[in-house]
Amino acid sequence: MATTETAHEAAKAGMPQLDFSTFPNQIFWLLVTLAVIFFVLRTVALPRIGGILTTRRGQISGDLAAAEELKHKALEAEKAYNAALVSARAEAGKIVAAAKAEIQADLNAAIAKADAEIAAKTAESASRIDEIRAAASDVVASVAKDTAAELVVAMGGAVDARAIEAAVTARLKG
Amino acid sequence: MAGTEHSEGLAFHPLEQFEITRLFGHGPIHWYTPTNATLWMALATLAIIVVFVLGSARRSMIPGRLQSLGEMAYDFIYKMVEDVTGHDGVKYFPMIMTLFVFILFTNLLGLLPASFTPTSHIAVTAILGFGVFLFVTLLGLAKHGVGFLGLFWMSDAPLILRPIIAVIEVISYFVRPVSHSIRLAGNIMAGHAVIKVFAAFAPLILISGIGVLVTPISILAIVAIYALEVLVAFIQAYVFTILTCVYLKDALHPGH
């Protein structure tokens, strides 16, 4: 007891770090503290924090994978959309072509029908014109004969019906 | 006249802060007596529990401040152990984490005014340093037997030099725990003592006219050294921990 007291007094003059009388105390409490900290960290804190970090890493990589998958899906959807667009365009082109062909066919039929009608009407008109012309030349011939006969009478000649007819017919032909 | 005023007014006791005192009553300090060292180690333990246990209690996917702190410290030391010692050193991670947080928190709490810093005492750091030394030496011998002594035998050096190098290596190996512990205690003690010296100069303005010049300078110096000490508190914890990892690596993989 006396030695520790003197050592304590001596250390008071110098560095408290070299006061060996306090060493057992510090070492004892240090070991207690380290044991408590080690126990708390080992059993509670470190497994828990390690678990949190692992879970978070898993969550992040899972989320990234999901994002990658969604991106893939989006790309596929875009591709499918483009393909659908292309096929729809082709379909529309076909329909347009078919409609054009149909309309052309209708148009051709209508034109042909109209042509036929026009031709029929033309033929009818031509035959009537011929009839009218024939009738007119008959009338002209009879008027010419009558006129010629009257002229012959007026000049005091004898009317030779046959000669007049022949002469008029010959003139009309010329 | 002024000289006597100086010696009366300014109190230079830079080492007083390191004294071990009883928390309760008077009398000798036995090994079980609760002292200021006990108090500040207990406060460090409490702070560690607050940060690492209470901080992570909610297990948030998006961490709050305390939880981030715990996670950062965990990641920092875990990576250090893994990088330096390799995968088989990871099972000693809780032990190394204990050393790191104990040193860091006692250093930082010791920077509070009127506090006490257990790591400024050679008794504490020597137990830490020699504890690590004993642990890694016994671990190396248990893992590799006589092969652990290959640590001292440089097989790539010229044959004549090998015994000389071996002697040097053995000496440096046994100096490790000494430097390991004195580095920590010395750094912490020196910083605290210097702050205390400047603090003793600070009230000079109340005593003498020269204080107009001395007091602002010493206060600025206290602020600057305090900032440095915050850095040192962290760096010394880091250095102690990474050296422990290096020694552990030597024990696990003695080949050079």
Domain that residue B232 falls in = 36-252
Torsion sign, CA atoms B4, B10, B16, B22: positive
Contact at CB, A17 and B18, closer than 8 angstroms: yes
Q: Alpha-carbon distance A165 to A51, whole Å?
A: 139
Do A32 and B127 meet the contact criterion of CB atoms below 8 Å apart?
no
Residue with tokens 């978070």: A56
Tokens of B103: 């040193």
Q: Which residue has the higher pLDDT, B155 or A76?
A: A76
User: Which pLDDT score, from 0 to 100, does residue B190 have?
Assistant: 93
Do B83 and B71 meet the contact criterion of CB atoms below 8 Å apart?
no
Q: Alpha-carbon distance B222 to B226, whole Å?
A: 6
User: Which pLDDT score, from 0 to 100, does residue B120 have?
Assistant: 94
- Band the pLDDT of B157: cuts 50, 70, 90: confident
pLDDT tens string A14-71: 788 888 889 999 999 999 999 999 999 999 999 999 999 999 999 999 999 999 999 9
Model ipTM value = 0.89
Tell me which residues of chain B, numbers 163 to 192, contact chain A at a CB-CB cutoff of 8 Å: 185, 189
B44 domain residue, yes or no: yes
Cα angle value B237/B241/B66 (rounded, 5°): 60
B7 domain residue, yes or no: no
| Chain B neighbors of A40, CB-CB under 8 A | 45, 48-49, 52-53
Contact at CB, A18 and B122, closer than 8 angstroms: yes
- Band the pLDDT of B15: cuts 50, 70, 90: confident
Contact at CB, B70 and A59, closer than 8 angstroms: no
Torsion sign, CA atoms B197, B200, B203, B208: negative
Q: Is the pLDDT of residue B154 over 90?
A: no
Contact at CB, A49 and B20, closer than 8 angstroms: no
Nearest to B98 by CA among A39, A29, A43, A25: A39
- Band the pLDDT of A12: cuts 50, 70, 90: low
User: Which pLDDT score, from 0 to 100, does residue B240 have?
Assistant: 97
Cα angle value B74/B76/B80 (rounded, 5°): 115
B137 domain residue, yes or no: yes
B84 domain residue, yes or no: yes
Do B133 and B176 meet the contact criterion of CB atoms below 8 Å apart?
yes
Average confidence (pLDDT) over B173-201: 93
Cross-chain CB nearest to B52 (options A15, A41, A55): A41
Q: Alpha-carbon distance B67 to A156, whole Å?
A: 154
- Band the pLDDT of B256: cuts 50, 70, 90: low
Q: Is B138 an 8 Å CB contact of chain A?
A: no
Cross-chain CB nearest to B56 (options A8, A14, A48): A48
Q: Alpha-carbon distance B127 to B103, whole Å?
A: 12
User: Letter for the amino acid at B103?
Assistant: I
Q: Give percent of chain B above pLDDT 70.
A: 96
B26 domain residue, yes or no: no
**Per-position DSSP letters for B100-117, written without gaps between them:** HHHHHHHHHHTTSTT---
Cross-chain CB nearest to B37 (options A25, A42, A55): A25
Q: Alpha-carbon distance A32 to B127, whole Å?
A: 12
Q: Alpha-carbon distance B170 to A59, whole Å?
A: 50
- DSSP β-bridge partners for residue B22: B35
Tokens of B61: 């996917």
Contact at CB, B71 and A53, closer than 8 angstroms: yes
Q: What average pLDDT does chain A have?
A: 88
B198 domain residue, yes or no: yes
B21 domain residue, yes or no: no
The backbone torsions φ and ψ at residue B35, rounded to the nearest 5 degrees and listed phi first, read -125, 180
pLDDT tens string B80-93: 999 999 999 999 99
d(CA A48, nearest CA chain B) in Å: 7
The CA-based diameter of chain A, rounded to the nearest angstrom, is 204
Q: Is A154 an 8 Å CB contact of chain B?
A: no
User: Which pLDDT score, from 0 to 100, does residue A17 have?
Assistant: 87
Torsion sign, CA atoms A157, A160, A161, A167: negative
User: Which pLDDT score, from 0 to 100, does residue A126 have?
Assistant: 93
Whether the pTM exceeds 0.95: the reply is no
pLDDT tens string A142-169: 888 888 888 888 887 777 778 878 887 8
The backbone torsions φ and ψ at residue B12, rounded to the nearest 5 degrees and listed phi first, read -95, 95
pLDDT tens string B201-235: 888 888 888 888 889 999 999 999 999 999 999 99
Q: Report how many Cβ contacts below 8 Å link chain A to chain B.
A: 132
Contact at CB, A17 and B123, closer than 8 angstroms: yes
User: Which pLDDT score, from 0 to 100, does residue A2 have?
Assistant: 42
Tokens of B153: 């035998």
- Number of domains within chain B: 1
Q: Is the pLDDT of residue B6 over 80?
A: no
Contact at CB, B20 and A26, closer than 8 angstroms: yes
Do B116 and B110 meet the contact criterion of CB atoms below 8 Å apart?
yes
Q: Which residue has the higher pLDDT, B45 or B154?
A: B45
Tell me which residues of chain B, numbers 18 to 37, contact chain A at a CB-CB cutoff of 8 Å: 18-20, 28-33, 35, 37
